[in-house]
């Protein structure tokens, strides 16, 4: 059986069936959807306006993010220098008894070099990147037994108190998921205002490249459930703790 | 696990109402979600909420009216991203697609994230039959899989279970000791499922939204199992109803604001995951294969009927369940299939057959609370009335069949209301017949059924000496 052969009813038959059910003469909508009439140029124009708006409200956005993120279950820490950030990280490692760390391979770690300081604390740091540290199986093993996963973020959303992580080379899907603690490090210029902003960005990326990557996550606080007696339990299959470090 | 038991609704709901443990649990937990929803709406302000509802409905209306167009776009874009799109007209086709994928890829273990469609098609049973270990990973689904029950509620499938129930269940099925704290019960699930996530060859999920423009699958979760099912196994299969489509990525903010608030009162869930086909070659991890199975399974029947089409706007928040006085008293199992509550009373009869579920459209006082809380403004009472008249006008005598009681009362009502003289005669007769039952000027108890049931917990005022009609004729219409 050819690997990518669709199974079931043929696409044409299924969709034609739906067209009949709807009693439509033509496939296209009579009135086309406004959003879908936009061109790449239109989106880029809107993005320009968006970035200008965000530039003008940086500290406000940061304040809103911090407030909402805390409400949504993040442990939020603001650091106004590299030293402060490193000291915070060292303190976190100590208080949680961390022995093994996995981290992504992202630009933020060039700005905030933590491999050496952690090595000095006898903490093993593995970079979850195949070109640097090992086979997928080995990396997965490492992530499954690590105490904490540290990543940068692509964006943060003030409206919801979320970080946006877009897995790709150097950024594994599992590094922020398998360990029971996730530390997300972000910088003020990454903060967006609302859900509209992030989807405009991703839409532009899609229209430009015809591809926006395989995956994206909004992460808002630790994992949780209320499935037993409607009582909220923090920490189910995903991390039990979510820490946000803002490097200002 | 979803055999059709909709025909037992009357019996099952009678049993539920008499079950003291169930009633106590319902009383204790039922209001949580609804209270949370109210608080969340207060927070965004009711005006803003109303705006969102209207926007959401508009998007769904346009999309469903042009479902063929958007299905085509979605299918193209998912394929461009490297995914394979399969179309399944019914449950049998859907399960055989999964079975074939499982067989041809030598899959032994499947981890499943929440999918109501998979319950419609009885997927777990089919997989078990072919020797595949298929584990539910959503905590509530995990619990009812172990206890072999149907889901009790769309959002919280194990809502009817106390923590003692769960502890006993885990002891029985997993060999764990008695566990007192709910945290520790969740930890048991985390522990026992973690290795399965990492060893399973296939993850099966549902879909909350499908974005046509970019071919994106959106999954809205809290527990992290949705992320694990779509990140760890080498094959990801998503099964979705065909109605989950929205046109553009920029349509998502409206729904991401409506769904979490209406369902659990959250501003947003812990995770929202967006999937565009399988991993790219340069990704560190992620599935090598992505399959999307788009399912009809009776939805085209709802689509075809302009009066019922809006049932497909449903985003599965469960708000209508939480507010419904019927659901709050009988719970989810009485409805006998995958979808309970008000929305279930509409879609189950159409999907399993009106003649198998004819009590469901009548399981309503038409109070309209469901319509008021629905984030997409679905007019459920309107559809229930429509189903009732479909039943009455059905060519099938089984569907038309009503109880003797119903028919007697319908006849009496028609006769009395047919002519003013009949009504006046009925009134006069009633004033005589009521006399033996009057106590201190009120009718407290009439021992003859069905009056006996009506007067068990309420008193009735007596029929007045003169009807308003007479008072009007004799006094009020006179000019001073």
**Closest in B75, B222, B248 to A223, CB measured:** B222
Q: How far is B56 from chain A (nearest CA, A)?
A: 14
From CA B306, how far away is CA A194, in angstroms rounded?
36
Q: Which residues of B touch A129 (CB under 8 A)?
A: 284
Q: Summarize the confidence of residues A210-235 as an average pLDDT.
A: 94
Contact state of B273 with A230 under an 8 Å Cβ cutoff: no
Q: Is the Cβ of A132 closer than 8 Å to some Cβ of chain B?
A: no
pLDDT number for residue B120: 94
Tokens, residue B262: 């209406």
Which residue in the block uniquely carries the two structure tokens 């499943």?
A: B112
Which positions 155-184 of B are in contact with A (Cβ < 8 Å)?
Answer: 156-159, 161-163, 166, 182-183
Q: Is the Cβ of B263 closer than 8 Å to some Cβ of chain A?
A: no
Element (H, E) at B348: helix B341-352
Task: Pick from A14, A47, A67, A161 the residue to mutate for testing the B interface (most B CBs within 10 Å).
Answer: A14
Counting beta carbons within 10 angstroms of the beta carbon of residue B62, is it exposed (0 to 12), middle (13 to 18) or buried (19 or more)? middle
Q: Tell me the pLDDT tens digit for each residue of B264-316.
A: 999 999 999 999 999 999 999 999 999 999 999 999 999 999 999 999 999 99
Nearest CA in chain B to A214: B276
pLDDT number for residue B139: 95
With 80 as the cut, is the pLDDT of residue B477 above it?
Answer: no
Q: What is the ipTM of this complex?
A: 0.97
The phi and psi torsions of B477 (rounded to 5 degrees) equal: -85, -5
Contact state of A8 with B252 under an 8 Å Cβ cutoff: no
Q: Tell me the pLDDT tens digit for each residue of B325-378.
A: 999 999 999 999 999 999 999 999 999 998 899 899 999 999 999 999 999 999
The phi and psi torsions of A201 (rounded to 5 degrees) equal: -60, -50
Which residue in the block uniquely carries the two structure tokens 């105490």?
A: A147
Q: Summarize the confidence of residues B40-55 as an average pLDDT.
A: 97
Q: Which residues of A touch B214 (CB under 8 A)?
A: 202-203, 206, 212
Q: Summarize the confidence of residues B392-400 as an average pLDDT.
A: 81
Q: Is the Cβ of A33 closer than 8 Å to some Cβ of chain B?
A: yes
Which positions 142-181 of A are in contact with B (Cβ < 8 Å)?
Answer: 144, 160-162, 167-174, 177
Q: Is the Cβ of A43 closer than 8 Å to some Cβ of chain B?
A: no
Q: Tell me the pLDDT tens digit for each residue of B171-188.
A: 999 999 999 999 999 999
pLDDT number for residue A1: 46
Model confidence at B466, pLDDT cuts 50, 70, 90, reads confident
Which residue in the block uniquely carries the two structure tokens 């990973």?
A: B137
DSSP alpha helix (H) spans, B248-310: 252-264, 299-304
Contact state of B93 with A9 under an 8 Å Cβ cutoff: yes
Please report, rounded to a whole number, the percentage of residues in chain B having pLDDT higher than 90.
79
Question: What sign for the dihedral angle of Cα B324, B325, B330, B334?
Answer: negative
Q: Which residues of B touch A199 (CB under 8 A)?
A: 249-250, 252-253
Closest CA to B210 of B72, B52, B102, B375: B72
CA distances (Å), origin B104, targets B2, B95, B97, B230: 26, 14, 11, 20
Which residue in the block uniquely carries the two structure tokens 């559809």?
A: B383
Contact state of B264 with A161 under an 8 Å Cβ cutoff: no
Cis check: omega of the bond before B159, within 30 degrees of 0: no
CA distances (Å), origin A120, targets A93, B123, B453: 12, 52, 79
CA distances (Å), origin B116, targets B3, B344, B422: 13, 12, 53
**Closest in A6, A22, A215 to B67, CB measured:** A22
Contact state of A214 with B300 under an 8 Å Cβ cutoff: no
From CA B157, how far away is CA A17, in angstroms rounded?
34
From CA B206, how far away is CA B237, in angstroms rounded?
8
- Tell me which of A42-56, A59-73, B263-277, B428-442 is least confident: B428-442
With 60 as the cut, is the pLDDT of residue B480 above it?
Answer: no
Question: What sign for the dihedral angle of Cα B242, B135, B8, B91?
Answer: positive
Contact state of B251 with A161 under an 8 Å Cβ cutoff: no
Q: Is the Cβ of A238 closer than 8 Å to some Cβ of chain B?
A: yes
Q: Summarize the confidence of residues A158-170 as an average pLDDT.
A: 97
From CA A242, how far away is CA A239, in angstroms rounded?
7
Q: Are A29 and B65 in contact (CB under 8 A)?
A: yes
Q: Summarize the confidence of residues B61-80 as an average pLDDT.
A: 97
The phi and psi torsions of B89 (rounded to 5 degrees) equal: -80, -30
For the full predicted model, state whether its pTM sits above 0.80. Answer: yes
Contact state of A195 with B80 under an 8 Å Cβ cutoff: no
Counting beta carbons within 10 angstroms of the beta carbon of residue B355, is it exposed (0 to 12), middle (13 to 18) or buried (19 or more)? middle
Q: Is the Cβ of B275 closer than 8 Å to some Cβ of chain A?
A: yes
CA distances (Å), origin B204, targets A160, B98, B172, B333: 28, 9, 27, 25
Model confidence at A33, pLDDT cuts 50, 70, 90, reads very high
Task: Pick from A8, A161, A207 the residue to mutate for testing the B interface (most B CBs within 10 Å).
Answer: A8
From CA B207, how far away is CA B219, in angstroms rounded?
6
From CA B444, how far away is CA B419, in angstroms rounded?
30
CA angle A158, A162, A165 (to 5 degrees): 125
Which positions 119-148 of B are in contact with A (Cβ < 8 Å)?
Answer: 137-140, 143
pLDDT number for residue B175: 94
Contact state of A216 with B274 under an 8 Å Cβ cutoff: yes
From CA B1, how far away is CA B162, in angstroms rounded?
21
The size of the A-B interface in CB pairs under 8 A is 283
Closest CA to B6 of B313, B403, B361: B361
Which residue in the block uniquely carries the two structure tokens 């030598």?
A: B106
Q: Summarize the confidence of residues B107-125 as an average pLDDT.
A: 95
Contact state of A236 with B186 under an 8 Å Cβ cutoff: yes
**Closest in B228, B257, B284 to A129, CB measured:** B284
Q: How far is A91 from chain B (nearest CA, A)?
A: 26
**Concatenated DSSP letters for B15-60?**
HHHH-HHHHHHHHHHHHHHHHHHHHHHHHH-HHHHHHHHHHHHHHH
pLDDT number for residue A240: 96
Contact state of B71 with A15 under an 8 Å Cβ cutoff: yes
User: Which of the two residues, B1 and B96, has the higher pLDDT score?
Assistant: B96
Q: How far apart are the first and last CA of chain A?
A: 55
What is the SS3 assignment for B317?
coil
Q: How far is A86 from chain B (nearest CA, A)?
A: 27
Q: Which residues of A touch B247 (CB under 8 A)?
A: 33, 35-36
pLDDT number for residue B1: 45
Q: Is the Cβ of B451 closer than 8 Å to some Cβ of chain A?
A: no
Q: Is the Cβ of A126 closer than 8 Å to some Cβ of chain B?
A: no
Q: Are B134 and B124 in contact (CB under 8 A)?
A: yes
**Closest in B161, B231, B280 to A174, CB measured:** B231
pLDDT number for residue A2: 63
Element (H, E) at A192: strand A191-192
Which positions 293-332 of B are in contact with A (Cβ < 8 Å)?
Answer: 293-294, 296, 300, 303-304
- Tell me which of A123-127, B2-6, B175-179, B210-214 is least confident: B2-6
Q: Are B222 and B271 in contact (CB under 8 A)?
A: yes
Q: How far is B363 from chain A (nearest CA, A)?
A: 26
Q: Summarize the confidence of residues B112-140 as an average pLDDT.
A: 95
Closest CA to B207 of B190, B186, B229: B229
With 90 as the cut, is the pLDDT of residue B235 above it?
Answer: yes
Contact state of A212 with B84 under an 8 Å Cβ cutoff: no
Q: Which residues of A touch B272 (CB under 8 A)?
A: 162, 217-218
Q: Summarize the confidence of residues A142-165 as an average pLDDT.
A: 97
């Amino acid at each position: 059986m050819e690997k990518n052969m669709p199974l079931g009813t043929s696409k044409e038959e299924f969709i034609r069936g739906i067209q009949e059910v709807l009693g439509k003469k033509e496939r296209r909508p009579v009135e086309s959807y406004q959003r879908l009439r936009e061109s790449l140029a239109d989106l880029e124009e809107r993005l320009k306006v968006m970035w200008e708006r965000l530039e003008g409200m940086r500290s406000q956005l940061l304040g809103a993010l911090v407030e909402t993120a805390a409400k949504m279950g993040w442990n939020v820490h603001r650091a106004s220098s590299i030293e402060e950030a490193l000291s915070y990280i060292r303190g976190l490692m100590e208080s949680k008894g961390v022995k093994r760390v996995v981290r992504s391979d992202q630009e933020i770690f060039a700005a905030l070099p933590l491999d050496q300081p952690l090595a000095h604390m006898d903490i093993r740091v593995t970079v979850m990147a195949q070109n640097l540290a090992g086979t997928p199986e080995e990396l997965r093993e490492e992530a499954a037994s690590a105490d904490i996963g540290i990543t940068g973020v692509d964006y943060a959303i003030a409206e919801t108190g979320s970080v946006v992580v877009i897995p790709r080379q150097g950024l594994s899907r599992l590094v922020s998921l398998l360990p029971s603690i996730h530390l997300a490090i972000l910088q003020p210029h990454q903060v967006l205002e609302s859900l509209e902003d992030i989807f405009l960005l991703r839409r532009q990326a899609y229209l430009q490249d015809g591809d926006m990557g395989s995956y994206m996550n909004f992460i808002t606080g630790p994992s949780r459930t209320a499935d037993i007696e409607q009582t909220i339990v923090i920490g189910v299959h995903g991390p039990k703790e979510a820490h946000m470090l803002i490097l200002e | 696990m979803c055999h059709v038991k909709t025909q037992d609704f009357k019996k099952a709901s009678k049993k539920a109402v008499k079950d003291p443990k169930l009633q106590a649990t319902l009383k204790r937990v039922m209001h949580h979600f609804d209270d949370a929803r109210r608080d969340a709406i207060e927070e965004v302000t009711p005006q803003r909420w109303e705006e969102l509802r209207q926007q959401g409905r508009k998007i769904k209306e346009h999309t469903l009216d042009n479902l063929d167009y958007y299905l085509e776009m979605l299918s193209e874009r998912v394929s461009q991203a490297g995914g394979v799109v399969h179309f399944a007209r019914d449950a049998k086709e859907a399960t055989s697609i999964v079975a074939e994928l499982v067989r041809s890829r030598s899959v032994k273990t499947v981890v499943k994230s929440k999918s109501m469609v998979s319950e419609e098609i009885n997927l777990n049973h089919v997989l078990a039959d072919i020797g595949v270990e298929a584990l539910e990973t959503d905590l509530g689904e995990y619990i009812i899989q172990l206890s072999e029950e149907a889901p009790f509620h769309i959002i919280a499938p194990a809502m009817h279970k106390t923590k003692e129930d769960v502890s006993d269940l885990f002891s029985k099925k997993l060999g764990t000791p008695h566990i007192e704290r709910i945290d520790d019960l969740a930890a048991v699930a985390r522990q026992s499922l973690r290795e399965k996530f990492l060893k399973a060859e296939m993850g099966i999920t549902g879909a909350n939204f499908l974005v046509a423009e970019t071919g994106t699958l959106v999954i809205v979760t809290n527990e992290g199992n949705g992320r694990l099912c779509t990140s760890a196994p080498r094959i990801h299969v998503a099964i979705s109803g065909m109605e989950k489509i929205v046109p553009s990525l920029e349509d998502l903010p409206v729904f991401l604001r409506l769904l979490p608030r209406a369902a659990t009162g959250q501003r947003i869930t812990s995770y929202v995951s967006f999937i565009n086909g399988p991993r790219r070659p340069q990704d560190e991890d992620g599935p090598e294969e992505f399959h999307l199975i788009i399912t009809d399974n009776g939805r085209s029947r709802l689509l075809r009927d302009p009066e019922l089409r809006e049932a497909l706007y449903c985003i599965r928040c469960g708000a209508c369940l939480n507010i419904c006085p019927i659901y709050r008293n009988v719970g989810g199992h009485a409805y006998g299939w995958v979808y309970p509550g008000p929305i279930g009373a509409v879609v189950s009869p159409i999907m399993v057959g009106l003649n198998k579920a004819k009590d469901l459209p009548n399981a309503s006082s038409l109070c309209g609370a469901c319509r008021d809380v629905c984030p997409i403004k679905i007019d459920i009472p309107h559809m229930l009335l429509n189903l009732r008249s479909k039943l009455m006008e059905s060519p099938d005598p089984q569907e038309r069949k009503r109880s003797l009681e119903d028919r007697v009362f319908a006849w009496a009502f028609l006769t009395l209301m047919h002519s003013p003289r009949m009504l006046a005669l009925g009134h006069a007769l009633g004033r005589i017949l009521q006399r033996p039952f009057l106590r201190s000027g009120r009718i407290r108890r009439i021992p003859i059924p069905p009056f006996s049931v009506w007067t068990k917990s309420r008193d009735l005022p007596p029929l007045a000496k003169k009807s308003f009609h007479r008072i009007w004729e004799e006094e009020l219409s006179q000019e001073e």
